[in-house]
Amino acid sequence: MPDSLLAEVVPWGQGRDQAPARMRRALRELRVVGPGMHTTAPLLAEILDEPDFVAGRHDTTLLDRRAQS
C-alpha cells in the first residue's frame, strides 16, 4: 500500500501561542486538489481549538477522549 503522507507541516514559534496560531493559518490556507483527495486538515484544526490542547493538557489519549465526548 502506498504511503498516504503527501506533506508535513511543522510550525514553530517563540511561545506556546505562536506555533498553534501558525498551524491554524497553514491549515486555513491549505489547498489539496485532485480526484479522491482527502485530508485530515479539518480534524487537525478542530484539535488545535480543543480546550485540553490549548491548556496543554494533551497526550496520546486526546483523540480517544475527544471521541467519547
Which is higher by pLDDT, 6 or 46?
Answer: 46
**Domain residues of the chain, as ranges?**
18-68
Which is higher by pLDDT, 16 or 21?
Answer: 21
Which is higher by pLDDT, 69 or 34?
Answer: 34
What average pLDDT does range 27-49 have in this prediction?
A: 89
| Alpha-carbon gap, residue 60 to 62, rounded angstroms | 6
pTM: 0.74
Other beta carbons within 10 angstroms of residue 27's beta carbon come to 19
